[in-house]
Amino acid sequence: MSNHINGTDKCKLYRFEKNNYFYGKLMTVRDFETEQSYFDEKRHLVNRLLHGSGLVCGFEDLKMELKGNKILIDFIDGGVALDCCGREIVVPANTLGKDVISSSGSTVSTLPDGSFLYLKYKPCYEGYVAAASNPSSCEERCCPGRLLKTLR
């Protein structure tokens, strides 16, 4: 794959890898992942270098409340933002009860004056489907069939 994002390699520039199709080519999971990765990474590069990070639209109607020992935020109108890597974060309208967390990952109960809130990209797997665990076995296991891109 072209741009595997992990650890400190986030947002660095890489060469793009693209499939070369020919008649009779056996397509594997890696080929399909490469195909998706190629177009995703091109779009993220354009977003990052031409548009930068921040709010694109929406996020005008937010409500914050203290419940127990944590602050929850409700996105009434939703919106779209770009993270520092150019990935889109789409928050649907009426997304309710999202935890406000610190940069260390723990929930917070107070916000000091002058605090800023940031959205953080988080991919989530869903739609689990049965899949053969390995090619030489009939045993099945569940694997995620979809990747939902959301905020943390």
The residue count of the chain comes to 152
- Tokens found for residue 30: 């890696």
- Say which residue the tokens 């996020």 belong to: 59
pLDDT single digits (tens) 37-56: 999 999 999 999 999 999 99
Higher pLDDT, 144 or 116: 116
Task: State the pairing for strand pair 95-99/121-132.
Answer: unpaired
In terms of phi and psi (left: phi > 0; alpha: psi -120 to 50; beta: otherwise), the region of 41 is: alpha
Look at residue 40 in the predicted model and tell me its pLDDT.
92
Look at residue 73 in the predicted model and tell me its pLDDT.
92
Banded model confidence at residue 35, pLDDT cuts 50, 70, 90: very high
Report pTM. 0.74
Look at residue 87 in the predicted model and tell me its pLDDT.
93
- Say which residue the tokens 């986030």 belong to: 10
- Tokens found for residue 96: 């309710």
Look at residue 82 in the predicted model and tell me its pLDDT.
94
